[in-house]
């Protein structure tokens, strides 16, 4: 399975604003959910267990935009 198949990419709104890639300005992303590891949790200075993040991978340049649900 190709995780980066073009058909999967689409535009998303975050808090009512269109998500735009910080690097290349593209507006289509692949949405992924990622379980945060202990190392990631300490990196972000978080202390809750089993946190998961939403990430949007730019379809054009591959830059990952991370979001931590509150
Ligand atoms: Zn990009």
Q: What is the pLDDT of residues 36-69, one digit of tens each?
A: 777 777 777 766 666 788 999 999 999 999 988 7
Looking at residue 13, its pLDDT comes to 95
Determine the distance separating the centroid of ligand 1 and the alpha carbon of 58, expressed in angstroms.
5
3-state secondary structure of 63: coil
DSSP state at residue 8: G
Determine the distance separating the centroid of ligand 1 and the alpha carbon of 17, expressed in angstroms.
17
Band of pLDDT at residue 1, cut at 50, 70 and 90: very low
pTM exceeding the 0.75 threshold for the entire prediction: no
Determine the distance separating the centroid of ligand 1 and the alpha carbon of 59, expressed in angstroms.
7
Determine the distance separating the centroid of ligand 1 and the alpha carbon of 28, expressed in angstroms.
8
Determine the distance separating the centroid of ligand 1 and the alpha carbon of 48, expressed in angstroms.
30
Looking at residue 35, its pLDDT comes to 80
3-state secondary structure of 67: strand
Q: Cα–Cα distance between 56 and 45 in angstroms, integer?
A: 21
Pull the structure tokens for residue 18: 């269109």
DSSP state at residue 7: G
Higher-confidence residue of 8 and 7: namely 8
């Amino acid at each position: 399975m190709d995780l980066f198949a073009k058909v999967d990419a689409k535009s998303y709104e975050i808090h009512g604003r269109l998500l735009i890639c910080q690097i290349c300005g593209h507006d289509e992303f692949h949405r992924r959910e990622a379980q945060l590891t202990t190392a990631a949790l300490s990196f972000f200075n978080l202390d809750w267990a089993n946190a998961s993040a939403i990430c949007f991978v730019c379809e054009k340049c591959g830059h990952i935009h991370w979001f931590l649900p509150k």
